[in-house]
A and B are shown apart, each in its own frame.
Chain A
Amino acid sequence: MTRWTPVCELAALDPERGVAALVDGVQVALFLLDDGRVLGVANHDPFSGANVVSRGIVGTHGERTTVTSPMHKQVWDLVTGECLDAAGKDPVDLAVFAVEVRDGTVHVGS
């Protein structure tokens, strides 16, 4: 049973940029894309150990939408959390979070 936690207004998000949210003590990185989708992954960067994924640059790799760690430039698929470029390390994926926008409010599922 998914529990939905409202975190912010959709208007608080900038397109192609991320923000961090605290959901029951868990740090989630939320990204609003150009096409209006909002995607959520873990904010914890498993490579550096810092909570910085939300501050990474959004981009594309082929058809996939990606985020790059601002710390050491590892790249993940924002939809699946799959690590696409581990920058020479063993790949570690990110947990993904369900996100819904209802009546202009962004909800994170847990």
Chain B
Amino acid sequence: MTVVSPVRPTGGPTDPGRVVVVGAGMVAHRLVEQMLARGEHAAWEITVLGDEPYRPYDRVHLSEFFDGRDADALALAPTVWDDARVTLRTGDAVASIDRDEQVVVTRAGVRVPYDNLVLATGSWAWTPRTTGIELPGVVSYRTLDDVSALRDWIQAREDTLGRPLRGAVVGGGVLGLEAASALQRLGAHATVVEFADRLMSVQLDEGGGETLRVRIADMGVDVRLGTGATRLVAAPDGAVGLLVLSDGSTLDVDVVVFSTGIRPRDRLARESGLAIGERGGVVVGPTCRTSDPFVWAIGEVASYEGVCAGLVAPGNAQADVVVDQLLGGTAEYAPAPEGTKLKGVLHDGVPVEAASFGDVNALTPGALEVTFADPVAKTYKKLVVSDDARTLLGGVFVGDAALYSSLRPMLGRALGADPSAFLAPEGGAAVPSADLPDDVVVCSCANVTAGTVRGAVTEHGCTSVADVKKCTKAGTICGSCVPLLTKLVNTQLEASGVEVSRAMCEHFPMTRADLFALVKAEGLRTFSEVVAAHGTGRGCVVCKPVVASILSSLGVGHVLDPANAPLQDTNDHALANMQKDGTYSVIPRIPGGEITPEKLAVIADVAREYGLYTRITGAQRIGMFGARLEQLPAIWQRLVDAGMESGQAYGKSLRAVKSCVGQSWCRFGVQDSVGMGVRLELRYRGLRAPHKFKVGVSGCARECAEARGKDVGVIATERGWNVYVGGNGGFTPRHAELLAEDLDDEMLLRVIDRFLAYYIRSADRLQRTAPWVADYPGGIAELRKVLVDDTLGICEDLEASIAAHVEAYEDEWAATLADPVRLARFASFVNAPDTPDPDLAYTPERGQVRPARLGEVSDPNPVIARTIAVRPSDVEMEDAL
């Protein structure tokens, strides 16, 4: 064999030359991105070799695969692969490294010579030795192929068994809980089996673990602690059927996910004779060089001081070090204290929060623990501080991890306030941000410090959070630091003399509330008038719908007026809510949740005829999904003919009034909550507001309608009604606060009229009532004075504006169907008005359809799609043979 000395392509001996990266994961991508970003005039070319068939993808958000994000959508900024100096080879693993010849050889036999070799092979999913682990239906949860296999298995197995599946996840760590949530989302029941005495045992203390267990159990996931998997037993047809646990009990299972930890993929390094750490991994020093000066290691395969990192942030930091070293710099890797945050675990679509950093178990001598646990709200927060209570040593947050992103950068630093002040449920100490030292890491994923963020503003001319994200990459990976980033950027902008704009957009220099007052005072009636008087340009997606909403609230510009048509976003334009594939949902109003069998039959007929996916919505209504733009008028004609009307499920307006069954039937009810619910719904239907709003009515203090989670909550008392305002479910849940007590029916309506009219007048764009009430100067007490005691003398005016709305109400769909001009909007194509969008495709799921994902068996017609076989049947298979 001829030995060929590696010859550098061009350039001098200090240039990086031919850089070969083994492994095409997130840190490999980071390395390439940084090489390009540095833009220095050194001679180099990079070849990245990956065994997976995909471009490097965002493994952090792997679970979003189940939301339809495929390999392309999850791919990390793919433009780096377009650079002429960069080559990416996927789907071919490296088989061996010849360090003497400085060449790697792939399984396919391709020989790639290198001047510098970077090992970025990552980890593999370790599983304990368990009998039966090879059975069909047992999977890992680490790669795109894993999650794809999991989805396919669940679909196929569900078809075979004809019932929802029973799933188990072995391992109750961050990834295991994410897998359990994924099982649920795929329609399977999930049990989590964890050998330790708590969930997230590496990151949480006992109290945090227990609170998380309650939260996970609330999701409907069974949690089995203190036991492990011993063996798996096959069902009669050979697939996995039973999981035997170490405590002797068993679980019936149709699918099992193992998530029991990771190990560095260091086989190549071992076989090529590089130094390997005691617990695995390629030994590197602070420069990230291995025992061979021409070989580097970064990410989870690199063992620094005996530890392999298991997160993306240290790997990115190491990639940056190697880039700097390759370009002749002297950067060194210093492990930053890391935190962990649970992600991708959803309870009814809302993330379950759990996070920690630092000395979680207060093992530092003299460390003090300050804990706030709320078993009702199911939150647990703990700060660990030094013996003088000054220095932050660690934190645990479960149920509400808002403090995590703001306090984690303060680790090892002076807190600046009494630790308990941070944990107080309301009126907590202001989280530090402005005075954060420059060297504090704000975004640990992209390894961006507070100083870098400030520099982006002062030296690189960034004038917004979006600019800073683009410039520094901060906040672009897991996103948990964005609130802190925003504060930091805005503070810096103000300090630099840049006025932080309160402008709605580039066309209007004022807030929505200020514009509302101007439009009202000056009696403006069209967008053209408004923009001529107070704005510039021709508007945009921000200000046009705001002006449309203001005009509608003032009763001068109906949603359907032709002059307003260009202002409406597609939902208000089509009077339907756009779904992910461009079709719409159809949701008729069902006041009080009361519906006759006759109306139900019409809904059933329509859904069957048009092949619409049908479900009960969260607002006690029936939604039909998948209606094409050109089908909406015919569908609504049927519903309107049957006595139904628009439910405004598409508008920034009243959605629905939820009520319990109340006095009429319930043995505890003290008022007629359904009757009041219907009355409120018919009063406020169609009312446009800065954001959508919801109302709830409970017939007694047991609060079965969950009214305090609504924008307006009404709860019956022996003497009348209590009204609460500013509640919210959604992303930031908040209980509504008491505005007035023991009102009779008429006074209740007047108080709600005033509240809604005042909110519509003075809230910011897209500001829901919860933050509006919370931010109102003086809070609920002051609002009570204005709305109940009428201290500003505006209540009459507020009531009049609602009265005008009630007077002018018409069903938007009935009005549209009666108007040929408006009906012309509902054409799929201007030159083929009834031709369906040829790209729509549906696939069957649980007896109905959903939009098909890439590569699935599908049909453009949802009625047909409902009956297609997902897999070739056995007969077809035989035919094919």
Distance in angstroms between the alpha carbons of A84 and B647 in the assembled complex: 35
A13-56 contacts to B (CB < 8 Å):
13-17, 19-23, 25, 27, 30, 34, 44, 48-52, 55-56
Query: Are B538 and A25 touching (Cβ within 8 A)?
Result: no
Nearest CB in chain B: distance from A25 CB, A: 7
Which residues of chain B are within 8 angstroms of A49 by Cβ–Cβ distance?
Answer: 581
Query: Are A71 and B79 touching (Cβ within 8 A)?
Result: no
Query: Are B469 and A14 touching (Cβ within 8 A)?
Result: no
Contact-residue bracket for chain A: 35 or more
Query: Are B578 and A70 touching (Cβ within 8 A)?
Result: yes
User: For the complex, is A12 an interface residue (Cβ under 8 Å from B)?
Assistant: yes
Nearest CB in chain A: distance from B700 CB, A: 43
Nearest CB in chain B: distance from A64 CB, A: 10
Nearest chain-A residue to B562 (Cβ)?
Answer: A14
**Segment touching A, from B86-94, B117-125, B352-360, B822-830:** B822-830
A55-B538 contact in complex given A50-B581, A90-B77, A90-B78, C-beta closer than 8 Å: no
Of A8, A12, A49, A60, most buried by chain B (CB within 10 Å of CB) is A49
Partner of A68, one of B541, B562, B581, B837: B541
Query: Are B78 and A56 touching (Cβ within 8 A)?
Result: no
Query: Are B540 and A50 touching (Cβ within 8 A)?
Result: no
Query: Are B830 and A20 touching (Cβ within 8 A)?
Result: yes
Which residues of chain B are within 8 angstroms of A90 by Cβ–Cβ distance?
Answer: 77-79
B562-608 contacts to A (CB < 8 Å):
562, 565-567, 569-571, 573-574, 578, 580-582
User: For the complex, is B832 an interface residue (Cβ under 8 Å from A)?
Assistant: yes
Distance in angstroms between the alpha carbons of A71 and B469 in the assembled complex: 22
Distance in angstroms between the alpha carbons of A70 and B545 in the assembled complex: 12
Distance in angstroms between the alpha carbons of A59 and B507 in the assembled complex: 10
Nearest CB in chain A: distance from B75 CB, A: 9
Query: Are A21 and B544 touching (Cβ within 8 A)?
Result: no
Distance in angstroms between the alpha carbons of A55 and B570 in the assembled complex: 6
Partner of B566, one of A12, A16, A61: A16
Partner of A62, one of B78, B506, B571, B629: B506
Which residues of chain A are within 8 angstroms of B824 by Cβ–Cβ distance?
Answer: 12
Encode contact with A along B537-548: 1 for CB under 8 Å, 0 otherwise: 111110011000
B825-865 contacts to A (CB < 8 Å):
827-832, 835, 837-839
Nearest CB in chain B: distance from A61 CB, A: 7
Distance in angstroms between the alpha carbons of A70 and B541 in the assembled complex: 9
Distance in angstroms between the alpha carbons of A73 and B523 in the assembled complex: 31
User: For the complex, is B476 an interface residue (Cβ under 8 Å from A)?
Assistant: yes
Interface size on B, residues (CB 8 A): 40
Nearest chain-B residue to A75 (Cβ)?
Answer: B541
User: For the complex, is A98 an interface residue (Cβ under 8 Å from B)?
Assistant: no
Which residues of chain B are within 8 angstroms of A21 by Cβ–Cβ distance?
Answer: 829-831
Query: Are A8 and B830 touching (Cβ within 8 A)?
Result: yes
User: For the complex, is A57 an interface residue (Cβ under 8 Å from B)?
Assistant: yes
Query: Are A22 and B835 touching (Cβ within 8 A)?
Result: yes
Which residues of chain B are within 8 angstroms of A55 by Cβ–Cβ distance?
Answer: 570, 573-574, 578, 582, 629
Which residues of chain B are within 8 angstroms of A20 by Cβ–Cβ distance?
Answer: 828-830
Query: Are A19 and B580 touching (Cβ within 8 A)?
Result: no
A53-110 contacts to B (CB < 8 Å):
55-62, 65-66, 68, 70-71, 73, 75, 88, 90
Encode contact with A along B137-181: 1 for CB under 8 Å, 0 otherwise: 000000000000000000000000000000000000000000000
Which residues of chain A are within 8 angstroms of B827 by Cβ–Cβ distance?
Answer: 19
Which residues of chain B are within 8 angstroms of A25 by Cβ–Cβ distance?
Answer: 838
Which residues of chain A are within 8 angstroms of B537 by Cβ–Cβ distance?
Answer: 59-60, 62
Distance in angstroms between the alpha carbons of A48 and B580 in the assembled complex: 7
Query: Are B831 and A8 touching (Cβ within 8 A)?
Result: yes
Q: Is the interface of A mostly helix, strand, loop or mixed?
A: strand
Distance in angstroms between the alpha carbons of A71 and B580 in the assembled complex: 7
Distance in angstroms between the alpha carbons of A14 and B829 in the assembled complex: 14
Nearest CB in chain A: distance from B599 CB, A: 30
Encode contact with A along B752-767: 1 for CB under 8 Å, 0 otherwise: 0000000000000000
Query: Are B544 and A59 touching (Cβ within 8 A)?
Result: yes
Query: Are A22 and B540 touching (Cβ within 8 A)?
Result: no
Nearest CB in chain A: distance from B505 CB, A: 9
Which residues of chain A are within 8 angstroms of B562 by Cβ–Cβ distance?
Answer: 14
Partner of A59, one of B539, B830, B831: B539
Distance in angstroms between the alpha carbons of A75 and B835 in the assembled complex: 27
Query: Are A22 and B839 touching (Cβ within 8 A)?
Result: no
Query: Are A34 and B77 touching (Cβ within 8 A)?
Result: no
Distance in angstroms between the alpha carbons of A3 and B845 in the assembled complex: 44
Nearest chain-A residue to B476 (Cβ)?
Answer: A88
Query: Are A73 and B837 touching (Cβ within 8 A)?
Result: no
Which residues of chain A are within 8 angstroms of B838 by Cβ–Cβ distance?
Answer: 25
Nearest CB in chain A: distance from B323 CB, A: 21
Query: Are B541 and A59 touching (Cβ within 8 A)?
Result: yes
Which residues of chain A are within 8 angstroms of B506 by Cβ–Cβ distance?
Answer: 61-62
Which residues of chain B are within 8 angstroms of A52 by Cβ–Cβ distance?
Answer: 570, 578, 582
Which residues of chain B are within 8 angstroms of A16 by Cβ–Cβ distance?
Answer: 538, 566
Query: Are A22 and B538 touching (Cβ within 8 A)?
Result: no
A58-B580 contact in complex given A8-B831, A16-B566, A20-B830, C-beta closer than 8 Å: no
Distance in angstroms between the alpha carbons of A108 and B659 in the assembled complex: 54
Nearest CB in chain B: distance from A92 CB, A: 10
Distance in angstroms between the alpha carbons of A6 and B469 in the assembled complex: 45
Distance in angstroms between the alpha carbons of A68 and B581 in the assembled complex: 16
Nearest CB in chain A: distance from B447 CB, A: 19
Nearest chain-A residue to B579 (Cβ)?
Answer: A50
Partner of B540, one of A19, A23, A61, A70: A61
Query: Are B545 and A57 touching (Cβ within 8 A)?
Result: yes
B511-565 contacts to A (CB < 8 Å):
537-541, 544-545, 562, 565
Distance in angstroms between the alpha carbons of A21 and B832 in the assembled complex: 7
B471-508 contacts to A (CB < 8 Å):
476, 506-507
Partner of B582, one of A51, A65, A66: A51
Query: Are A60 and B538 touching (Cβ within 8 A)?
Result: yes
Nearest chain-A residue to B77 (Cβ)?
Answer: A90
Query: Are B830 and A88 touching (Cβ within 8 A)?
Result: no
Which residues of chain B are within 8 angstroms of A15 by Cβ–Cβ distance?
Answer: 566
A73-B541 contact in complex given A14-B565, A90-B79, C-beta closer than 8 Å: yes
Query: Are A57 and B540 touching (Cβ within 8 A)?
Result: yes
Which residues of chain A are within 8 angstroms of B829 by Cβ–Cβ distance?
Answer: 19-22, 27
Query: Are A34 and B565 touching (Cβ within 8 A)?
Result: no
Nearest chain-A residue to B75 (Cβ)?
Answer: A90
Partner of A17, one of B545, B565, B629: B565
Which residues of chain A are within 8 angstroms of B507 by Cβ–Cβ distance?
Answer: 59-60
Which residues of chain B are within 8 angstroms of A50 by Cβ–Cβ distance?
Answer: 580-582
Nearest CB in chain A: distance from B459 CB, A: 23
Query: Are B566 and A14 touching (Cβ within 8 A)?
Result: yes
Which residues of chain A are within 8 angstroms of B541 by Cβ–Cβ distance?
Answer: 56-57, 59, 68, 73, 75
Nearest chain-A residue to B582 (Cβ)?
Answer: A50
Nearest CB in chain B: distance from A22 CB, A: 5
B788-832 contacts to A (CB < 8 Å):
824, 827-832
A88-B469 contact in complex given A14-B565, A50-B582, A52-B570, C-beta closer than 8 Å: yes
Query: Are B830 and A58 touching (Cβ within 8 A)?
Result: no
Which residues of chain A are within 8 angstroms of B573 by Cβ–Cβ distance?
Answer: 55
Distance in angstroms between the alpha carbons of A19 and B839 in the assembled complex: 17
A70-B570 contact in complex given A16-B538, A20-B830, C-beta closer than 8 Å: yes
Nearest chain-B residue to A48 (Cβ)?
Answer: B580
Distance in angstroms between the alpha carbons of A50 and B830 in the assembled complex: 18
Which residues of chain B are within 8 angstroms of A30 by Cβ–Cβ distance?
Answer: 830
Nearest chain-B residue to A60 (Cβ)?
Answer: B537
With A7-B830, A62-B537 given, name 11 new contacts (CB 8 A).
A19-B829, A34-B538, A48-B580, A48-B582, A50-B580, A59-B540, A59-B541, A60-B507, A60-B539, A60-B540, A71-B578
Write 6 A-B pairs (CB below 8 A) sorted by A numbering: A7-B830, A12-B830, A14-B565, A52-B578, A57-B566, A90-B79
Chain A residues with a Cβ under 8 A of chain B: 7-8, 12-17, 19-23, 25, 27, 30, 34, 44, 48-52, 55-62, 65-66, 68, 70-71, 73, 75, 88, 90
The 10 closest A-B pairs by CB, nearest first: A59-B540, A50-B582, A68-B541, A16-B566, A70-B570, A60-B537, A19-B830, A55-B570, A7-B831, A8-B830
